Amino acid sequence: MVGYILRRLLLLVPVLLGLSMLVFAIARLLPGDPVALAAGPNATAADVASVAREFGLDQPLVVQYWNYLTGLFRGDWGVSIFTRRPVAEDLAAYLPATLELVLAAMLLAIGLGIPLGLMAAVFRNKWPDFLARTVSLGAISMPRFFLGLVFQLLFAMWLGWLPLSGRFPLTEDPPPQITGMLTVDALLSGQFHAFGVALSYLALPAIAMCLSPLATIMRMMRASTIEVLQQDYVLTERALGLSQKLILFKYVLKNAISATLTVIGLYFGWLLGGTVLVETVFDWPGIGLYATQAVLTQDFMPIIGVTLCIGAIFVTVNLVVDMLYGLLNPKVRYQ
Amino acid sequence: MNPPSLDTDTLLEIDDLNLAMRSFEGEIQVLNGVSFAVKRGEIWGIVGETGSGKSLTGLTVSRLVPTPPGRYLRGSVRFQGQDVLKQSEETMRTLRGRRIGMIFQDPTTNLNPTFRIGTQLVDVALHAAKLDPTILGLPAGASRRARRAAAEKVAIARLEEVGIPNAAERVNDYPHQFSGGMKQRVLIAMALIGRPDLLIADEPTTALDVSVQAQILRLIHGLVEEHNLGVLFITHNLGVVAQLCTHVAVMYAGAIVESGPVRDVLKHPRHDYTRGLLASVPKPSMKRGELRGLAGGALAAEALAPPPPRAAPGGTIMAIEHVVKEFPGARRGFFDRAPPVQALRDVSLNIRQGESFGLVGESGSGKTTLTRCILQLEKITSGRIVYDGIDLAAQTPQQMQALRARIQIVFQDPYASLNPRMTIRDIIAEPMEIHHGKLGLTPRQRTDRAAELLEQVGLTTQHLNRFPHEFSGGQRQRIGIARALAPKPDFLILDEPTSALDVSVQAQVLNLLHDLQSRLGLTYFFISHDLGVIRYICDRVALIHHGKLVEQGETEDVFTNPRSDYAKMLLAAMPDPDPDLSPLRRREAVLL
Amino acid sequence: MSSTTAHPRLESWRRGLYRFRQSWVSVLGLLIVSVLLVLAIGGQHLAPYPQHIAGLVDTSARLQAPSTTYWFGTNELGQDVFSLVVAGTRISLLAGMAVVIVGAAFGVFVGAIAGFLGGWVDEVLMRLADLKLTVPGLILAMAVAAALGPGIVNMVFAIALSWWPGYARLVRGEVMAKREETFVLASRAMGAGTNRLLWKHILPNIMSPIIVKMSLDMGFAILTVASLGFIGIGVKPPTPEWGSLLSVARVNMPDYWWTAIFPGLAIFMAVFGFNLLGDGLRDLLDPKARR
């Protein structure tokens, strides 16, 4: 098992290298001239050239990539042409907000999706199942940005129960910075009032974001549970008198979850990418909003930074998922 | 059939059981008045072919047939006096695992792959102990932990009893760490851990090799005698019944056509179906062409025109010389690999023109690898495969292409070997299209030839535009044979062509193969694990074990006078439908 | 087991159709998709105010609530929201379809080659697909679309770029599984070449999962198109596109909610319709995956 983890960690290196190369190539090879854009509409050719020199954009692409790559290891993720701020600093500031949002959504999705899926499988082809399937398909079909708007309209504007947008009010004292995730920091430092405030801001975007993965996890869990229920060993367990409860919650659950796990890994990456939309709706100061700004201004250093960052998180999460999969499946573990 | 009795030894009494199943086509009655009774110490063999209702009968005893789609129309299933069809699910659970133990066909899928076998055994033991605390040997009020510890001890004891070496350590292993035979032993231990009175075994040895099957049968036999169990042994194999069972019930189309003590039924069958079934099993005394199949539940008429006598075998057509095939070992880490696996070790044999050459081996022996090497689907590591004087490995792809028309193959699984999206016409015409150069037929002529071939294998031209899923297993195998014959081959590899078929259908296909060989002068390379079939159809035979040929010679010589230990063991393990000839009983006879 | 009645093939179709009709949600999906198709084809003629679609501004009728004259109300330019939503159908459907077809075609090609040839070709192609999967599709599409500039073709290209790996992986897995099937082996033993094996034996047998995935993906492609429109990349106003309509209408909330709600509902209905249909199709074409 240790050897397996080491090998997987080693394999991360070429993946991340390839990812950086790919993103760099896409950002730089496509048409569009960020230099001219940054220099301003009235810039002369000389102005443009000086901006290009300032950011090293006059050098051959290979050299640019090499400089970027070596910079990454020194913690230098390049500088935004537009704001002239270091990308690494921006990422450090925005990433915790996004992670908080994504983790909250994922927790909700897993925590509700797995039991609901199990239930739908047990009630297969009866009304709770039909209801769950149709509603879940609806949830998958609901655009997150639209759902966010409807939530805002309902719960913030009309009912006034929850704040409209943002992450934390300026009028209140934020909890001390530990992880950068406000709810977690508030809990860690025991500031329960601040936790309540942070949670009220987190609630709407997290719910808007979790519905689609929740529905997918539920459907996946339902499908794999049904498949497991049809396995021969379940018949044997029944034939030897084990109770329905023991079979379902011990013997079936472990087998069914392992199939669902892979979906959870994939969905994590999907959520990270999709946070763009929800962050736009709720003005959530995360890397999604940051990336949108960068894209609209064709500011490619932040784009590369965000993509690399998300890619790295995605591969790491999937590594963790694979290990959990190995823990659940003795056959994989012993290979 | 048996009048209801108050005999205390009677464990199970099934009386006029009728079961219907609902499906898209409507409700179909799948059990038609099944009646029989099992006493302690009796082993009842329920024998029948696919769809005869034998498995459903077994499931009904534990009431595991789901309702719906199932529906009980009439009858009763009395287990020690109480009708299980009238019990609540809760009461049924007190019977399952405690009073009634069950084992099923495929040991690899019947153990939960993600749990240690110890965990699974302990849970069954704890369930049974709830109803009968003496199983764990503990007083009723024992603590949870004490019960668990005791259950584990019982599990280990049971595993030892069914012949798992090192049981105390192996309880911590996962199912995939056991071989097929060992898994079935674990499942038997699990079924017996609650000390049941009745054991239901549904084809427990069908997925196993003959030698392993013999061990499992011996194990069940011993356990029954020791614990005075009643057993319901469901199987399609008459040989197994003859070997193990005290009584037998023959099922056909959801009804028992004949039942009674095993010697009476198998030695003096009264019903046509039983007689037909017995006549379709190849026996040592039979000459080729004497086998008779079944049609519509009765003995089929004899072939109208017997084929012409076969020509005497000619010279060597296929020479396999010192063939070695290695597969690279499993990857270990980045650069490291396990040592290569030798699938074939120095295999040499000669096949003569016009003969049937048999190759016998158990799973993993290398017999399938050898066929793939002959077909050049795998490259051999060393040695030569010479066909009609041509070294196959030395041919260019174009030359090999032309040779492929002469060497054809029929596969084991008739359901998987035909493309489900192609019509029968297209399937049979495909080799003619590929070998257009040799045969030179127009599309029209190909259709005509496909029709001709279909008739040759006993189907009709009407079948040309149908799709494979519309045919039964036996019909599909005929289509597979027609396809193999299409490019006019002279060498036919038959890779377990009848193993997936019911015995009556097997008889028909064997007869067809015999007929075709006589008429077309084909050479057969017949691969099988079934010694009876090999003895019936092959002139010469070779035995392969762990990639090595252990014995070869004239079939009769090898069967009557085996020299290698492996051949002796295989022959001893082969169940024979004659109760007096079966190994277990032979051993009994010796002991007496 | 297998019936040999008069027209068994027809029979199996009827059986599938019966199952499809059994689940009323699939029929609902088919209904929604049919309505969408009608609107996409004849939208210009069916919309009550075709002049608003062309960009006509009517300041006298600004931000009117839904009524019998303006079913979905009017927007800040006095345009009929219903007409704009109807007109948006064509763009969404067209773009969605283009994305799925381009992505599927490329993905099937790559997956078939990788799965059939195996070895290093497979390694290279699949590592490339994996790499693509680690980049979030939406961000990649955003970057590419922004760099290429606005326009429907650029947007389709940008989305399709992140769409093919899903098909490549699906097809590769299916091809590898089918390659080992006995009927393919049988054909190889007969001497069939790569072309015949791939086109006659393997691909026809893996069409069902591809079609099912395409119909399910239609919904998500429409969703992605709308997302890009919402962010402000992709189709730009005055071309009526659901996502950008919604984006523009955000500032009208909460008083003039209808300007946002109806385009949003349109996106939801379109995606929902295709998902229901895809789910039904899966039951129909892929009985193994019946869930």
Q: Are residues B171 and B78 in the same domain?
A: no
With respect to residue A95, please indicate whether it lies within any of the assigned structural domains.
Answer: yes
- How many residues are listed for chain C in this entry? 291
* pLDDT at residue C4 in the model: 38
Task: Tell me: do B168 and B81 sit in the same domain.
Answer: no
The mean predicted confidence, pLDDT, of chain A is 82
What's the CATH number where C35 sits? Answer: 1.10.3720.10
* pLDDT value at C289 more than 80: no
Counting residues of chain B whose pLDDT is more than 70, the rounded percentage is 93
How many domains, in total, are found in chain C?
1
The reply to whether B590 falls in a domain is no
- The size of chain B, in residues, is 592
Can you say whether residue B345 is alpha, beta or left, with left for phi > 0 and alpha for psi between -120 and 50 degrees? Answer: beta
Q: What per-residue confidence (pLDDT) applies to C13?
A: 66
pLDDT band for C249, please (50, 70, 90 cuts). confident
pLDDT digits (tens, 9 = 90+) for B450-486: 999 999 888 888 888 888 888 888 899 999 999 999 9
Confidence of residue B527 (pLDDT cuts 50, 70, 90): very high
Q: How far apart are alpha carbons A105 and A113 in whole angstroms?
A: 11
What is the pTM for the complete model shown? 0.82
Give the domain extent around C14. 3-285
The CA distance from C228 to C155, in Å, is 8
Binned at pLDDT 50, 70 and 90, residue B383 comes out as very high
Instruction: Provide the pLDDT for residue B4.
Output: 45
Q: What are B429's two structure tokens? A: 């015409």
Same domain membership, residue B438 and residue B359: yes
Taking only residues 450 to 479 of chain B, the set having a beta carbon closer than 8 angstroms to any beta carbon of chain C reads 466-467, 469-472
- Among all residues of chain A, which has the CA nearest to that of B173? A330
My answer on whether B328 and B433 are in the same domain is: yes
pLDDT tens sequence across C222-247: 888 888 888 877 777 677 888 888 88
If you average pLDDT over residues C250-264, what whole number do you get? 80
Instruction: Tokens for C135, please give them.
Output: 């980049």
Tokens of B224: 């029954």
Residue B111 to residue A334, Cβ atoms within 8 A: no
State the CATH number of the domain containing residue A156. Answer: 1.10.3720.10
C-alpha gyration radius of chain B: 26
With CA atoms as reference, the chain C residue closest to A147 would be C264
Q: Which residues in B lie closer than 8 A to residue C9 (C-beta atoms)?
A: 467
> What residues in chain B have their Cβ under 8 A from chain A's Cβ atoms?
62, 64, 93-98, 101-104, 106, 109-115, 120, 123-124, 127-128, 174, 176-177, 187, 190-191, 194, 333-334
Q: Is residue C291 part of a domain?
A: no
Higher pLDDT, A57 or A309: A309
> Radius of gyration over alpha carbons of chain C, in Å?
23
What pLDDT was estimated at residue B103?
93
Q: Does residue C38 belong to any structural domain of this protein?
A: yes
Q: Does residue B294 fall inside a structural domain?
A: no
- How many Å lie between the alpha carbon of C114 and the closest alpha carbon of chain A? 19
- What digits encode the pLDDT tens for the residues B136-151? 887 767 788 888 999 9
**Boundary (domain end) residue, out of B162, B193, B224:** B193
Tokens linked to B288: 């080729």
Please report the pLDDT score of residue C5 as a whole number. 39
- Which of C25, C135, C254 lies nearest to residue A23, judging by beta carbons? C135
Whether the CB-CB separation of B495 and B361 falls below 8 Å is answered with: no
Q: Is the pLDDT of residue C2 over 60?
A: no
- Taking an 8 Å cut-off on Cβ atoms, the answer to whether B483 and C186 are in contact is yes
Looking at chain A from residue 205 to 244, which residues have their Cβ under 8 Å from any Cβ of chain B? 231-233, 235-243
Structural domain total, chain A:
1
pLDDT score at B249: 94
Q: Stretch B122-132: mean pLDDT, rounded? A: 89
- CATH code of residue B10: 3.40.50.300
Structural domain for B262, as ranges: 1-99+197-270
Chain A contacts of C132, Cβ < 8 Å? 22
Answer yes or no: is B260 within a domain: yes
CB proximity A286 to C under 8 Å: no
Closest CA–CA distance from residue A86 to any residue of chain C (Å): 20
Q: Do C147 and A149 touch (CB under 8 A)?
A: no
Helix or strand or coil: residue B37?
Answer: strand
Residue A69 lies in a domain: no
Average pLDDT, chain B: 87
**Nearest one of B264, B298, B263 to B280, comparing CA atoms:** B298
Average pLDDT, chain C: 80
Tell me, yes or no, whether A321 lies in a domain: yes
How far is C191 from chain B, CA to nearest CA, in Å? 6
For residues B9 and B122, state if they share a domain. no
- Please report the number of interchain residue pairs, chain A to chain B, with beta-carbon separation below 8 angstroms: 81
Higher local confidence (pLDDT), C61 or A91? A91
- One domain, residues B92 and B112: no
Residue A52 is assigned to a structural domain of this protein: no
pLDDT value at B407 more than 90: yes
Residue B447: inside a domain: yes
Q: Would an 8 Å CB–CB cutoff place B430 in contact with chain C?
A: yes
Structural contact between residues A118 and A253, judged by C-beta atoms closer than 8 angstroms: yes
Do B475 and B419 belong together in one domain? Answer: yes
Of B583-592, C21-30, C97-106, give the range with the top mean pLDDT: C97-106
A331 min Cα distance to partner chain B (Å): 7
What per-residue confidence (pLDDT) applies to A34?
62
Q: For A282-293, what is each residue's pLDDT tens digit?
A: 888 888 888 888
Which range is most confident: A23-27, A156-160, B64-68?
Answer: B64-68
Instruction: Tell whether the model's pLDDT for residue B91 goes beyond 70.
Output: yes
Inside any domain, residue A62:
no
Query: Under an 8 Å CB criterion, which residues of C touch B?
Result: 1-4, 8-9, 12, 15, 18, 181-192, 196, 200-201, 204-205
- Of the pLDDT bands very low, low, confident and very high (cuts 50, 70, 90), residue A30 is low
pLDDT of residue B199: 94
Peptide bond into B443 cis (omega under 30): no
Extract the tokens encoding B306. Answer: 């017997």
Does one domain contain both B334 and B432? yes
Q: Check whether B304 has a pLDDT greater than 60.
A: no
Task: Mark whether B389 and B508 lie in a shared domain.
Answer: yes
| Cβ contact B418–C183 (<8 Å) | yes
For residue range A197-230, what is the model confidence (pLDDT) as tens digits?
Answer: 888 888 889 998 888 888 888 988 988 898 899 8
In a domain, B300, yes or no: no
Domain limit, last residue, from B193, B228, B251: B193
Is residue A96 a part of any domain in this protein?
yes
Neighbours of chain A (3+ CB pairs under 8 A): B, C
The set of chains that have 3 or more CB pairs under 8 A with C is A, B
- B95 and B116 both lie in a single domain: no
Q: CA B439, CA B428: separation in Å to the nearest integer?
A: 14
| Confidence grade of residue B298 (pLDDT, cut at 50, 70, 90) | low
Say whether pLDDT at C271 is over 80: yes
- Residue A140 in any domain: the answer is yes
Chain B interface mutation, best of A240, A242, A261, highest count of B Cβ atoms under 10 Å: A240
Partners of residue A330 in chain B, C-beta under 8 Å: 113-114, 174, 176
**Co-location of B18 and B127 in the same domain:** no
DSSP output for B251-296? EETTEEEEEEEHHHHHHS--SHHHHHHHHTS--TTPPTT----EET
- Answer for the pair A27, A299: CB distance below 8 angstroms, yes or no: no
Residues B177, B50, single domain; the answer is: no
Residue A193 domain flag: yes
**Using CA atoms, how far apart are residues B410 and B245, in angstroms rounded to an integer?**
35
Report the amino acid identity of residue A115.
P
Domain that holds residue A306: 87-328
Residue A38 has pLDDT above 80, yes or no: no
Among the residue ranges B46-50, B161-165, B540-544, C252-256, the one predicted with the least confidence is C252-256
Domain count, chain B: 3
Closest CA to B527 of B405, B385, B351: B351
Opening angle at CA A168, ends A165 and A174, nearest 5? 180
pLDDT band for position C147 (cuts 50, 70, 90): confident
